[in-house]
Amino acid sequence: MDFGPGAEPSSTSGAEPPSRPPSPPGASPQTVADDGRVELRPGAFPEHSRFANDDLKPIPLAERHWGTYNFAALWVGMAHNIPSWTLASGLVALGMDWRQAVFTIAAANVIVLLPMLLTGHAGPKYGIPFPVLARASFGLRGANLPALIRAAVACGWFGIQTWIGGQGIYVLLDKVFDGAWSDESRIGGYPWPLWLCFVLFWVLQLAIIYRGMEALRRFENWAAPFVLVGAVVLLVWIADKAGGFGPLLDQPSTLGWGADFWPVFFPALMGMIGFWSTLSLNIPDFTRFGKGQRAQVWGQTLGLPTTMTAFALLSVLVTSGSQAVYGEPIWEPVELAAKADNVFGLLYALLTVLVATVSVNIAANVVSPAYDLANLAPKLINFRTGALITGVVGVVIFPWKLIETPELYIFVWLGVVGGLLGTVAGILIADYWLVRRTVLDLADLYRPEGRYWYTGGWNLRAVAAFAVGGVLAVGGSHSAPGKGPFPEDGLIPPLKPLADYGWAIGLASALVVYVALMTAGRRAGWGGRRRAS
**Cα–Cα distance for residue pair 321/237, rounded to 1 Å:** 9
Cα(531)–Cα(533) distance, integer angstroms: 6
Which contiguous run of DSSP H or E holds residue 87? helix 87-93
pLDDT band at 412 (very low <50, low <70, confident <90, very high): low
pLDDT of residue 243: 77
Range scoring the smallest mean pLDDT among 241-255, 280-294, 431-445: 241-255
Contact 280, 116 (CB under 8 A): yes
pLDDT for 172: 76
**Which is nearest to 152 in space by CA: 464, 359, 383, 368?**
368
How confident is the model at residue 14, as a pLDDT? 34
Residue 440 — very low, low, confident or very high, per pLDDT cuts 50/70/90?
very high
CA atoms within a 13 Å half-sphere pointing along the CA-CB vector of 75: 29
This prediction's pTM: 0.83
Q: What percent of the chain has pLDDT over 70?
A: 86
Q: By percentage, how much of the chain surpasses pLDDT 90? A: 29
What's the confidence (pLDDT) of residue 413? 59
Contacts (Cβ under 8 Å, ≥6 apart) of 97? 251, 252, 253
Mean pLDDT of 217-241: 79
Element (H, E) at 32: strand 30-32
The reported pLDDT for the residue numbered 295 is: 94
The pLDDT tens digits for 134-173 are: 999 999 999 999 999 888 888 888 888 888 888 878 877 8
> What is the arithmetic mean of pLDDT over 332-360?
76
Cβ partners under 8 Å of residue 452, min gap 6: 135, 136, 139, 140, 441, 444, 445, 459, 528
For residue 259, the Cα-to-chain-centroid distance in whole angstroms is 33
**Residue 429: band (very low, low, confident or very high) from pLDDT cuts 50, 70, 90:** very high
In the predicted model, is pLDDT for residue 38 greater than 90? yes
What is the pLDDT at residue 51? 94
Q: What is the DSSP string of 375-392?
A: HHSTTT--HHHHHHHHHH
Query: What confidence category does residue 310 fall into, taking pLDDT thresholds of 50, 70 and 90?
Result: confident
- Average pLDDT rounded to a whole number, residues 78-99: 76
pLDDT of amino acid 52: 93
- pLDDT, residue 130, reads 94
- Give tens-digit pLDDT for 252-290: 667 778 788 888 888 788 778 877 878 888 899 999 999
The pLDDT of residue 327: 78
pLDDT in tens, 100-147: 888 888 999 999 899 999 999 999 999 999 999 999 999 999 999 999
pLDDT of residue 529: 45
